[in-house]
Structure 1
Amino acid sequence: MTLGVDEKLSKADWLSAPGIQAVFSAIERDGEEARVVGGAVRNTLLNHPVPDVDIATTASPETVMARAQDAGLKAIGTGIEHGTITVIADDFPYEVTTLREDIETFGRQARVVFGRDWEKDARRRDFTMNALYVDRNGHLHDPLGGLGDCLARRVRFIGDADGRIKEDYLRILRFFRIYAAYGEGELDPEGLGACLRQRNGLRQLSAERIGHEMRRLLRAPRAAYALRMMNDCGLWEIATGGLARIDDYEALRSLDELAPHTRDPELGLVVLAGFVREDLARVSDRLRLSNGERKRMETAWGARKRLLQADASPSAAAMAYAFGRQGAIDGLLAVWSAQIAGKADDSARFKEMLSAFGSQVIPEFPLKGADLISSGHKAGPELGALLKRLENEWIDSEFALTREHLLERSKTAS
Structure 2
Amino acid sequence: MSEGPEDTLRAAGWLHEPGLQAVFSAVEQDGDTARAVGGAVRNTLLGHPVSDVDIATTARPEDVMRRASTAGLKPIGTGLDHGTITIVSDGFPYEVTTLRQDVETFGRQARVVFGRDWELDAKRRDFTMNALYVDRHGALHDPLGGLEDCLARHVRFIGDPDSRIREDYLRILRFFRIYAAYGRGELDREGLGACLRQRDGLRRLSAERIGHEMRRLLRAPLAPDAIKLMNDCGLWEIATGGLARVDDYAALRQLERTADETRDPELGLVVLAGFVREDLERISERFRLSNAERKRMQTAWSAKKRVKQTDAVSSAPSLIYDFGRQGAIDGALAVWATRIARKSEETFSLEKLLISLRELAVPEFPLKGADLIAAGHTPGPALGVVLKRLEAEWKDSDFAMSKQQLIDLSGSSS
Where does residue 209 of structure 2 map in the other structure? 209
Q: 1:7-406 to 2 correspondence within 5 Å?
A: 7-310=7-310, 315-406=315-406
Q: Are 1:236 and 1:242, in contact at CA under 8 Å, matched by a contact in 2? A: yes
1:312 to 1:4, Cα distance in 2 relative to 1, 3 A: closer
TM-score normalised by structure 2 residue count: 0.98
- Between the aligned partners of 1:88 and 1:207, the Cα distance in structure 2 is 30
Give 1:146's aligned amino acid.
Answer: G
Give 1:395's aligned amino acid.
Answer: K
- Between the aligned partners of 1:7 and 1:379, the Cα distance in structure 2 is 74
> What's the secondary structure of 2:355's corresponding residue?
helix
> What's the secondary structure of 1:113's corresponding residue?
strand
Q: Are 2:313 and 2:353, in contact at CA under 8 Å, matched by a contact in 1? A: no
Q: CA deviation at 1:412?
A: 6.1
Q: Are 2:125 and 2:131, in contact at CA under 8 Å, matched by a contact in 1? A: yes
- Between the aligned partners of 1:345 and 1:11, the Cα distance in structure 2 is 49
CA RMSD of aligned residues (A): 1.3
> What's the secondary structure of 1:32's corresponding residue?
coil
> What's the secondary structure of 2:242's corresponding residue?
coil
Q: Are 1:386 and 1:413, in contact at CA under 8 Å, matched by a contact in 2? A: no
- Between the aligned partners of 2:391 and 2:343, the Cα distance in structure 1 is 39
- Between the aligned partners of 2:325 and 2:406, the Cα distance in structure 1 is 25
Q: CA deviation at 1:33?
A: 0.7
1:300 to 1:311, Cα distance in 2 relative to 1, 3 A: closer
After superposition, give the CA deviation of every residue in 1:115-164 in whole Å (9 maximum; x if it has no partner).
Answer: 00000000000000000000111010000000000000000000110110
- Between the aligned partners of 2:165 and 2:413, the Cα distance in structure 1 is 69
- Between the aligned partners of 1:84 and 1:391, the Cα distance in structure 2 is 58
Q: Are 2:312 and 2:350, in contact at CA under 8 Å, matched by a contact in 1? A: no
- Between the aligned partners of 2:20 and 2:345, the Cα distance in structure 1 is 51
Q: CA deviation at 1:380?
A: 2.1
Q: CA deviation at 1:219?
A: 0.5
Q: Are 1:59 and 1:98, in contact at CA under 8 Å, matched by a contact in 2? A: yes
- Between the aligned partners of 1:348 and 1:3, the Cα distance in structure 2 is 46
- Between the aligned partners of 2:241 and 2:413, the Cα distance in structure 1 is 51
After superposition, give the CA deviation of every residue in 1:341-390 in whole Å (9 maximum; x if it has no partner).
Answer: 00004443222111110112111101111111111222222221111011
- Between the aligned partners of 1:17 and 1:379, the Cα distance in structure 2 is 63
Give 1:323's aligned amino acid.
Answer: F
1:124 to 1:318, Cα distance in 2 relative to 1, 3 A: same
Q: CA deviation at 1:105?
A: 1.2
Q: Are 1:365 and 1:391, in contact at CA under 8 Å, matched by a contact in 2? A: yes
Q: CA deviation at 1:61?
A: 0.3
Q: CA deviation at 1:309?
A: 2.8
Structure 1: gaps spanning 5 or more residues: none
> What's the secondary structure of 1:108's corresponding residue?
helix
- Between the aligned partners of 1:16 and 1:311, the Cα distance in structure 2 is 52
- Between the aligned partners of 1:345 and 1:287, the Cα distance in structure 2 is 35
Give 1:30's aligned amino acid.
Answer: D
- Between the aligned partners of 1:347 and 1:384, the Cα distance in structure 2 is 40
- Between the aligned partners of 2:237 and 2:413, the Cα distance in structure 1 is 54
Give 1:280's aligned amino acid.
Answer: L
- Between the aligned partners of 1:229 and 1:289, the Cα distance in structure 2 is 24
Q: Are 1:39 and 1:130, in contact at CA under 8 Å, matched by a contact in 2? A: yes
Which portions of structure 1, spanning 4 or more consecutive aligned residues, are displaced by more than 4 angstroms? 311-314
After superposition, give the CA deviation of every residue in 1:79-130 in whole Å (9 maximum; x if it has no partner).
Answer: 0110000111111111000000011112111111000000000000000000
> What's the secondary structure of 2:107's corresponding residue?
coil
Give 2:388's aligned amino acid.
Answer: K
- Between the aligned partners of 2:372 and 2:234, the Cα distance in structure 1 is 59
After superposition, give the CA deviation of every residue in 1:14-46 in whole Å (9 maximum; x if it has no partner).
Answer: 101111111111111211010000000000000
Q: Are 1:307 and 1:314, in contact at CA under 8 Å, matched by a contact in 2? A: no
Q: Are 2:166 and 2:198, in contact at CA under 8 Å, matched by a contact in 1? A: yes
- Between the aligned partners of 2:342 and 2:240, the Cα distance in structure 1 is 24
Q: Are 1:128 and 1:156, in contact at CA under 8 Å, matched by a contact in 2? A: yes
> What's the secondary structure of 2:285's corresponding residue?
helix
- Between the aligned partners of 1:328 and 1:320, the Cα distance in structure 2 is 6
- Between the aligned partners of 1:204 and 1:12, the Cα distance in structure 2 is 40
- Between the aligned partners of 1:98 and 1:107, the Cα distance in structure 2 is 20
Structure 2: gaps spanning 5 or more residues: none
Q: Are 1:307 and 1:313, in contact at CA under 8 Å, matched by a contact in 2? A: no
TM-score normalised by structure 1 residue count: 0.98
Give 1:26's aligned amino acid.
Answer: A
Give 1:150's aligned amino acid.
Answer: C
After superposition, give the CA deviation of every residue in 1:232-255 in whole Å (9 maximum; x if it has no partner).
Answer: 111111111111110000000011
Q: CA deviation at 1:310?
A: 3.5
Q: Are 2:367 and 2:406, in contact at CA under 8 Å, matched by a contact in 1? A: yes
> What's the secondary structure of 1:315's corresponding residue?
helix
Q: Are 1:336 and 1:345, in contact at CA under 8 Å, matched by a contact in 2? A: no
1:20 to 1:312, Cα distance in 2 relative to 1, 3 A: closer
Give 2:410's aligned amino acid.
Answer: S
Q: CA deviation at 1:314?
A: 5.3
Q: CA deviation at 1:226?
A: 0.4
Q: Are 1:224 and 1:250, in contact at CA under 8 Å, matched by a contact in 2? A: yes
Where does residue 407 of structure 1 map in the other structure? 407
